[in-house]
Amino acid sequence: MKFYQCFNAIYHKACNADNELVCVQLMKSVSLPVLLYSLEVLFPSKTAINMLNNVVDRAFYRIFKCTDNSDIKFIRSMFDLLDVNVIRLQRHTLFLRHFTSCSLWSDIICHYNEG
């Protein structure tokens, strides 16, 4: 729900600019982080991933007023907005890399697994 509230607020403000690029940039920088918050530490099901992709597709549908799935996929590729599962895997890898670089946490986990 927060994604929709955030996106709708941005969309209505940016519609006055008459520029889709502004809407897409604001969606990527403000609304998408709300949607993908803490996704890197969760293991969502394929159904949940598909639902998140559908939310992003609907946002592009509203911005560009196109209904064909191939058009939406093309537009997403032009704006370098990957599939949510790919974004999740990238963020998960970054999270693990950061998590393991913190020696305190890695020591706690290693000692916990040994005990």
Q: What is the pLDDT of residue 108?
A: 65
Q: How far apart are CA 20 and CA 68, in angstroms?
A: 17
Q: What is the pLDDT of residue 76?
A: 92
Residue in the structure block whose two tokens are 């890197």: 40
User: Domain residue spans in the chain?
Assistant: 2-114
Q: What is the pLDDT of residue 94?
A: 86
DSSP per residue, 23-81: HHHHIIIIIHHHHTTTGGG----HHHHHHHHHHHHHHHHHHH----HHHHHHHHHHTT-
Which pTM was predicted? 0.72
* Ranges under pLDDT 70 in the chain: 1-2, 13-18, 102-115
Q: What is the pLDDT of residue 62?
A: 84
